[in-house]
Amino acid sequence: MIEYRIPKKLKKTSKIAIVSLSGAVKDIEPIKRAENFFGNLGYDVELSDCLMYKNRYMAGYDEERAEELHHYFSREDIDGIICSRGGYGALRLINLIDYNLIKNNPKVFAGYSDITILSAMFLKKAGLITYSAPMASGDFGAEEVSQFTVDNFFKAVTTDDDLNFKAKKFYKSGYAEGRMFGGNLASIVSLCGQDFIPDEKFIFFAEDVSEPVYKIDKMFTQLFNIPEFKKNLSGIVLGEFTNNDNEEWLDELFQEFAQNLDIPIYSGFEITHSKDKITIPYGQKAKMENGILTIFGNE
């Protein structure tokens, strides 16, 4: 069995690095606002020298982004790494990463969307618990930062408290337990063909943005068709699938999943690209029971 590593929680005066590992950052101003946001709370913030690098639509060349990742994980003075944004580019790094370095230097690592790819691979290859969490540019650097998002983030990364989230809808009730695994659906599916699925029971959480229902169907079905995925899947937690083309079809699709899968499916969580979002400790143990998703603060 893999040895899981929970990073030390952040505290005031912790040093945080803001890095770009995916899509190119187009505007420095939101990053500066994020820097000020954390600085005003007492955190020491370092902006990566490569933050604004560009290679087409990505934040620099693959080797540059992998080197940045290694640099900040290897530094003992860095307590947390917050990604600047998603986009595209993380998939190109997975065969360049030194997973032993990640394993031997656990620290808070936060991001969502395309960053899901790194969280999934860190969990599988290094046993690192990360955070599906808000990012610098679009969240902490917004002109109006969501207090809901902020409160959920800091509860997850600064305390050992259990996190409890109530479902707004049930497609299938019941009990499930396992490690939190999933994230952005399209990003997870892009890992098919890699060794990325947990070797033990997991609760799959998912969200996406601007995907038509037939593609959501296709991506879920692709995962369900993987024997290892189907075997270890104990429950499904659905976030938001914003800007899809047909809410009625989407609802019918999830009802169909509920009929075909003998597992609980809860829906209506603020796992999303939208402004108000919860933070999910990625890889942490959790349970689904009586309409509540509980993510445990300790192993």
What digits encode the pLDDT tens for the residues 189-245?
999 999 999 999 999 999 999 999 999 999 999 999 999 999 999 999 999 999 999
pLDDT confidence of residue 182: 98
Mean pLDDT of the chain: 97
Give the chain's length. 299
pTM, rounded to two decimals:
0.97
Assess if CATH 3.50.30.60 describes domain 163-295: yes
Q: Return d(Cα 299, Cα 277) in angstroms, integer.
A: 24
Is 154's pLDDT higher than 90? yes
**Does residue 67 sit in helix, strand or coil?**
helix
Q: Return d(Cα 158, Cα 167) in angstroms, integer.
A: 24
CATH of domain 15-158: 3.40.50.10740
Q: Return d(Cα 196, Cα 184) in angstroms, integer.
A: 14
Residue 1: pLDDT band (50, 70, 90) is confident
| All residues at 6 or more sequence positions from 289 whose CB lies less than 8 Å from its CB, including other chains | 175
What digits encode the pLDDT tens for the residues 99-125?
999 999 999 999 999 999 999 999 999
pLDDT confidence of residue 2: 87
Domain ranges across the chain: 15-158, 163-295
CB 235 within 8 A of CB 263: yes
Neighbours of 295 (CB within 10 A): 24
Give the helix ranges, DSSP H, for the chain.
28-40, 62-74, 99-104, 116-126, 147-158, 185-189, 213-224, 227-232, 247-260
